[in-house]
């Protein structure tokens, strides 16, 4: 059985345990904000009535302002609101936002009112553990003794609490349950090794970690490699850890975190290395992280709550912090994601990835100036990094700084090997930047290089073919290329628009209308498509429909910078004159149209 299959088996096991039971439905409230509630999205303001306060919290909840939502929910409960769902949402939101002390307070109230969610026990466990009240942490899990969680989660958590109670033998005994299930062996060896290391039992730790390293079928995450490598360095087996990481790095030389970890191992020495898992709290954080990771991708809210527990127990757990940032990003909470990414220090193996991801989140937010400034700083630190240079080119192009974009794309090409499969995307972006500077000869050369290195990718075929048509150049070759692009990607609306526009230029207005109508279905917000469709309608004699499409173009959001609004307004007022068809190869067009019809059927 492969490592991938093992993880899948564990995932099925954990998913079957219903950790996030009935209260999960209340975690994200559905609905529309009340029009009677006027709430500032980033500010909590106390209200006088419990129902008004609850509604304000609900609006904040729907808007994903979870901290503020939790504040309003707490206030509504303090004002006397007696509602189990609100109470459940309160502790869940507080915990997921990292406010564990308050979360424990409201989780306990929910437990007393009958909420049987196991998450309450996890929250209480974590807070007791952080306060070093290990017996209370152990007792908080007592209600789960007869739960299916005995199979994996419960003994894993208990083993680290017993470690806090300085009971190594009982801790190991709890883990034996995991050893009986082959799918859980990686967790067993990893945590037994970490517990042994915590107790300075190097012999046992070495045996457990060796079992993971030497078994090719066992999955080895970045975090596991980081922890195991830390141990090998401390016991004077640097060659072993370098050999292990070399094996993984050889398989994935594009992984910057792995590269940074390899470099950090190479420069470390036995005397300078500090133990990573040096408290029971940090060990429990590893266990909680292992379980929480299994929910990523299908219950991200649960994964976020578990990750909050992890960071509460170990704020310096950088892999977990990256994971939290990614969860925020998936939820569209880009400011929170950026905050987490930027909290990673430059000594961390995760620093490069975190900085690049922060820049990407700025780009997603359309905050390109901040993305640009961050990337410029990164390029100073990593002057020959193709990823950073390319991102700078993309951000510069978004900011319409085409001269800078060209410089960064050239720098990217210099940093990439001649055989790199991604070179075509750089040539493609470079061509677009040259075109925007009206340097067509340079743009054309870049597009031709992109065409060759991409093995005639449909995007490149389409862009170059369309550009030639717009300039009245190489018409038959452009026609061939655009139809070839459509054959390779028959559902792309931009390519379909190019086909329709080519037909329009040849005077085939009826055919152009049919194709452009289809393009508008694929791109229902694209200004260029609606302008083209309006032009085709006008030439086909459908003038009212033409004006409607031109008006639609002016209201459309996509590719607004590609249209000339004054030209469109003039067409709405006066229409468009007769367009002289370009010369073209009739036989070639007939062949292309036949292929087109076959593709769209």
Q: pLDDT by residue (tens digit) across 193-213?
A: 999 999 999 999 999 999 999
pLDDT tier at 5, thresholds 50, 70, 90: very low
Q: In this predicted model, which residue has the larger pLDDT, 597 or 444?
A: 444
Q: Write down the residue that tokens 């909680």 correspond to.
A: 288
Only one residue has tokens 């899990």, namely 141
* pLDDT band for position 46 (cuts 50, 70, 90): confident
Beta pairing partners, 526: 558
Q: What is the mean predicted confidence (pLDDT) over 105-121?
A: 92
**Residue-level pLDDT at 163:** 98
Tell whether the model's pLDDT for residue 6 goes beyond 50. Answer: no
Q: Over 60: is that where the pLDDT of 273 sits?
A: yes
H helices of 454-492, in order, are: 458-471, 475-488
CA 179, 184, 186, 189 torsion-angle sign: negative
Reported as type and span, the H/E element at residue 519 is helix 509-522
The residue ranking higher by pLDDT, 225 or 270, is 225
List helix spans (H) across 114-221: 118-130, 134-140, 153-164, 168-179, 185-198, 202-214
Q: For residue 214, what are the contacts with CB-CB under 8 A and spacing of at least 6?
A: none
**DSSP 3-state assignment of 220?**
coil
Residue 564 banded pLDDT, cuts 50, 70, 90:
very high
Q: Is 277 exposed, middle or buried (0-12, 13-18, 19+ CB in 10 A)?
A: buried
Judged against a pLDDT cut of 70, whether residue 57 lies above it is answered with yes
Q: Is 558 helix (H, G, I), strand (E, B) or coil?
A: strand
Give yes or no for residue 23 having a pLDDT over 60. no
Tens-digit pLDDT profile for residues 450-485: 999 999 999 999 999 999 998 888 888 898 899 899
% the chain with pLDDT above 90? 68
pLDDT at 386 over 90: yes
For residue 376, pLDDT beyond 50: yes
Query: Of all helices (H) and strands (E), which one includes residue 414?
Result: helix 402-415
Average pLDDT over residues 269-277: 86
Residues 72, 94: Cα–Cα separation, whole Å: 11
pLDDT (mean) for 356-379: 96
CA distance 93 to 343: 22
In this structure, the dihedral spanned by the alpha carbons of residues 250, 255, 259 and 265, taken in order and rounded to 10 degrees, is -90
- Three-state DSSP string of 358-409: HHHHHHHCCCHHHHHHHHHHHHHHCCCCHHHHHHHHHHHHHCCCHHHHHHHH
Q: With 50 as the cut, is the pLDDT of residue 367 above it?
A: yes
* φ, ψ (nearest 5 deg) of residue 97: -90, 5
DSSP letters for 278-337: -SHHHHHHHHHHHHHHTTTTT-HHHHHHHHHHHHHH-TT-HHHHHHHHHHHHHTT-HHHH
pTM: 0.83
Distance in angstroms (rounded) separating the CA atoms of residues 168 and 160: 9
Task: Give the span between the Cα atoms of 495 and 490, in whole angstroms.
Answer: 8
Q: What is the pLDDT of residue 584?
A: 65
What does the longest C-alpha to C-alpha distance in the chain come to? 91
Pick 272 or 431 by higher pLDDT. 431
* Residue 221: closest CA among 245, 256, 253, 246: 245
Percentage above 70 pLDDT, the chain:
88
- Assess contact for 331 and 64: CB atoms under 8 A: yes
What span, in angstroms and rounded, lies between the C-alpha atoms of 495 and 492? Answer: 5
What is the token pair recorded at 379?
Answer: 């390029």
Tens-digit pLDDT profile for residues 487-503: 999 999 999 999 999 99
**Domains, in order of start, for the chain:** 463-601 (1.25.40.10)
Both tokens assigned to 323: 């994971």
Q: Provide the token pair at 371.
A: 């993305």
Q: How many CB atoms lie within 10 A of CB 301?
A: 17
Neighbours of 481 (CB within 10 A): 25
Residues 132-164: tens digit of each pLDDT:
999 999 999 988 756 555 678 999 999 999 999
Q: What is the mean pLDDT of the chain?
A: 87
The residue whose two tokens read 């292929």 is 595
* pLDDT at residue 95, as a whole number: 95
Residue the block writes with tokens 């993984």: 248
How far apart CA 514 and CA 536 sit, in angstroms, is 9
The Cα–Cα gap between 284 and 311 comes to 11
Q: For residue 235, is pLDDT > 50? A: yes
* Residue 147 pLDDT: 56
Six-digit token string for 433: 């930047």
Among 507, 500, 483, smallest CA distance to 583 is for 507
Closest CA to 408 of 395, 421, 390: 390
Across the range 401-407, mean pLDDT stands at: 97
Q: Which helix (H) or strand (E) holds 586?
A: helix 586-600
How is residue 19 written in tokens?
Answer: 């950790």
Mean pLDDT of 126-131: 97
Whether 378 shows a pLDDT value over 50: the answer reads yes
């Amino acid at each position: 059985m492969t490592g991938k299959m093992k993880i899948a088996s564990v995932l099925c096991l954990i998913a079957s345990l219903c950790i996030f039971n009935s209260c999960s439905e209340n975690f994200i409230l559905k609905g529309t904000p009340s029009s009677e509630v006027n709430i500032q999205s980033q500010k909590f303001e106390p209200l006088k009535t419990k129902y008004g306060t609850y509604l304000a919290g609900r609006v904040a909840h729907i808007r994903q302002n979870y901290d503020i939502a939790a504040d309003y929910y707490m206030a509504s409960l303090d004002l006397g609101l007696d509602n189990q769902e609100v109470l459940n949402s309160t502790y869940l939101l507080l915990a997921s936002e990292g406010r564990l002390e308050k979360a424990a307070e409201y989780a306990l109230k929910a437990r007393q009112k009958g909420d049987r969610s196991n998450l309450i026990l996890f929250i209480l466990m974590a807070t007791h553990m952080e306060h070093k009240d290990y017996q209370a942490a152990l007792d908080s899990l007592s209600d789960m003794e007869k739960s299916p969680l005995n199979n994996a989660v419960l003994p894993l958590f208990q083993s680290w609490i017993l470690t806090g109670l300085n009971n190594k033998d009982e801790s190991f005994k709890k883990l034996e349950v995991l050893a009986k299930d082959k799918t859980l062996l990686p967790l067993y060896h990893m945590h037994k090794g970490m517990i042994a290391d915590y107790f300075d039992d190097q012999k046992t730790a070495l045996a457990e970690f060796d079992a993971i390293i030497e078994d090719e079928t066992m999955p080895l995450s970045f975090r596991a490699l980081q922890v195991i490598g830390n141990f090998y360095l401390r016991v004077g087996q640097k060659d072993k850890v370098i050999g292990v990481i070399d094996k993984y790095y050889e398989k994935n030389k594009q992984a910057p975190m792995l590269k940074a970890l390899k470099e950090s191992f190479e420069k470390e020495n036995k005397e300078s290395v500090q133990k990573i898992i040096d408290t029971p709290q940090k060990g429990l954080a590893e266990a909680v992280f292992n379980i929480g990771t299994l929910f990523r991708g299908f219950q991200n809210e649960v994964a976020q709550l578990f990750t909050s527990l992890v960071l509460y127990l170990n704020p310096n757990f950088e892999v977990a912090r990256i994971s939290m940032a990614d969860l925020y990003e998936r939820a569209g909470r880009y400011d929170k994601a950026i905050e987490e990414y930027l909290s990673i220090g430059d000594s961390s193996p995760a620093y490069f990835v975190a900085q690049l991801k922060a820049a990407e989140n700025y780009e997603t937010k359309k905050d390109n100036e901040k993305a640009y400034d961050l990337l410029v700083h990164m390029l100073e630190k990593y002057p020959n990094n193709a990823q950073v240079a390319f991102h700078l080119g993309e951000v510069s192009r978004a900011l319409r700084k085409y001269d800078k974009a060209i410089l960064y794309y050239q720098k990217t090409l210099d940093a990439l090997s001649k055989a790199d499969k991604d070179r075509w995307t750089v040539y493609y972006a470079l061509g677009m930047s040259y075109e925007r500077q009206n340097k067509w000869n340079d743009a054309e050369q870049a597009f031709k290089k992109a065409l060759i290195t991409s093995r005639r990718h449909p995007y490149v075929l389409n862009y170059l073919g369309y550009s030639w048509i717009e300039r009245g150049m190489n018409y038959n070759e452009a026609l061939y290329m655009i139809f070839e692009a459509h054959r390779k990607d028959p559902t792309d609306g931009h390519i379909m628009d190019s086909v329709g526009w080519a037909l329009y230029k040849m005077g085939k207005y009826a055919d152009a209308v049919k194709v452009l109508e289809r393009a508008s279905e694929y791109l229902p917000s694209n200004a260029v498509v609606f302008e083209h469709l309006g032009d085709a309608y006008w030439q086909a004699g459908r003038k009212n429909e033409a004006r409607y499409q031109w008006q639609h173009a002016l209201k459309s959001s996509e590719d607004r910078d590609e249209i000339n609004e004054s030209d469109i307004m003039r067409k709405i007022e006066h229409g468009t004159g007769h367009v002289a068809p370009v010369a073209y190869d009739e036989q070639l067009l007939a062949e292309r149209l036949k292929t087109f019809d076959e593709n769209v059927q």
